[in-house]
């Protein structure tokens, strides 16, 4: 293909694009003169799928008609509703089904993961983040360091670009770990940096982090639904993300969480617990002892907000129809 800069070439690519029909699946904001905007803000808030309203109305109608019985007898029963989202979510982020769960919001999930995977002990007390990390990540990580009684000015280490450059190099992270590896408890970086767009080599970072004895986690807010994360194959211990950006689930919608399967039944990991993470077979027996569900579901706290999950499902159904591999190929072509 010979690339051209004119509008005619862009229109030609549109005509040849097998995914072009999905444009009609979304509402596109319009200017005051009625023309459609060129929407380049999906990194902040994805557009609303046209089918979202119908999906929401189904649950509102079932709530009105059934009340509490909707948990069992709605068209899409609410008790296991989050499970409807699991397979497609796992496919989008490159994980096994039992490694992912939709719950809470991004920074809440990050804190829950750090309860389990940031366990400072002895000399190993520090956390590495990338320079220009999203501010909420920095706030969360710094507060976890402080919670454990350490000074974040000393125990929060930045992986920085070289002078005159704008993106950090993986070899500099390796050097940092060679110099301070025995003091690093956790590496927690954004899979795609929100400021530069740099897509990190997650598998490489996890490998060198584990070799140094550290846990490794990723904030995938700008990666989920956007790039091939391949979280299972990366070997990361955990990952978190939001769904309101590239996954088009609406403002402030629920986030997602990945826990690698090697931790699926690890009773040695501390965690904050709630009843929705308890064994589904005995959850309503209100037992005194907590028995976590195998996999990422075991980190759930409360019963999920169905109306938010409905909006996620409306978008995920489009992902399933389009195929994430096809979406990524188009992204690269663009």
> Contact 242/106 with Cβ under 8 angstroms?
yes
**DSSP-assigned states of every residue in 79-98:** TTHHHHTHHHHHHHHT--GG
Q: 252, 239, 241: which is closest to 311 by C-alpha?
A: 252
Q: 251, 271, 249: which is closest to 259 by C-alpha?
A: 271
> Contact 209/237 with Cβ under 8 angstroms?
no
Q: How many CB atoms lie within 10 A of CB 334?
A: 7
> Contact 202/232 with Cβ under 8 angstroms?
no
Each of the 334 residues of the chain gets a pLDDT tens digit; together they read: 788 999 999 999 999 999 999 999 999 999 999 999 999 999 999 999 999 999 999 999 999 999 999 999 999 999 999 999 999 999 999 999 999 999 999 999 999 999 999 999 999 999 999 999 999 999 999 999 999 999 999 999 999 999 999 999 999 999 999 999 999 999 999 999 998 999 999 999 999 999 999 999 999 999 999 999 999 999 999 999 999 999 999 999 999 999 999 999 998 899 999 999 999 999 988 777 899 999 999 999 999 999 999 999 999 999 999 999 999 999 998 8
Backbone phi and psi for residue 142, each to the nearest 5 degrees, phi listed first: -60, -40
C-alpha distances in Å from residue 218, one per residue of 49, 110, 133, 197, 229: 28, 9, 11, 15, 10
| Strand extents, DSSP E, the chain | 100-103, 126-130, 156-159, 184-190, 215-219, 238-242, 255-259
- Residue ranges of domains in the chain, CATH in brackets: 69-333 (3.40.640.10)
Q: Which helix (H) or strand (E) holds 70?
A: helix 70-73
pTM of the model: 0.95
Contacts of 145 (CB under 8 A, 6+ apart): 120, 125, 127, 151, 152, 155, 156
């Amino acid at each position: 293909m010979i690339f051209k800069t004119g509008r005619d070439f862009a229109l030609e690519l549109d005509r040849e694009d097998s995914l072009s029909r999905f444009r009609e699946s979304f509402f596109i904001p319009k200017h005051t003169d009625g023309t459609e905007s060129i929407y380049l803000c999906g990194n902040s808030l994805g557009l609303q799928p046209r089918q979202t309203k119908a999906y929401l109305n189904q649950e509102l109608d079932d709530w009105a008609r059934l009340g509490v019985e909707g948990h069992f007898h709605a068209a899409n029963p609410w008790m296991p509703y989050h499970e409807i989202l699991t397979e497609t979510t796992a496919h989008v982020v490159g994980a096994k089904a039992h490694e992912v769960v939709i719950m809470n919001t991004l920074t809440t999930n990050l804190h829950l993961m750090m309860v389990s995977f940031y366990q400072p002990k002895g000399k190993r007390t520090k956390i590495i983040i990338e320079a220009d990390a999203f501010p909420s990540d920095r706030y969360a990580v710094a507060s976890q360091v402080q919670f454990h009684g350490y000074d974040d000015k000393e125990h929060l280490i930045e992986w920085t670009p070289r002078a005159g450059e704008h993106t950090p190099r993986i070899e500099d992270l390796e050097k940092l770990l060679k110099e301070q590896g025995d003091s690093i408890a956790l590496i927690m970086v954004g899979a795609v940096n929100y400021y530069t767009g740099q897509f990190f080599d997650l598998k490489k970072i996890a490998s060198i982090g584990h070799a140094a004895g550290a846990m490794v986690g990723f904030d995938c807010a700008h990666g989920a639904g956007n790039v091939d994360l391949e979280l299972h194959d990366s070997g990361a211990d955990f990952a978190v993300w939001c769904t309101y950006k590239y996954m088009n689930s609406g403002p402030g919608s629920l986030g997602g969480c990945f826990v690698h399967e090697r931790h699926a039944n690890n009773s040695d990991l501390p965690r904050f617990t709630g009843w929705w993470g308890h064994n589904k077979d005995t959850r309503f027996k209100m037992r005194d002892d907590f028995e976590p569900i195998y996999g990422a579901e075991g980190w759930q706290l409360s019963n999920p907000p169905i109306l938010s999950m409905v909006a996620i499902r409306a978008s995920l159904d489009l992902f399933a129809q389009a195929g994430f591999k096809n979406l990524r190929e188009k992204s690269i072509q663009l």
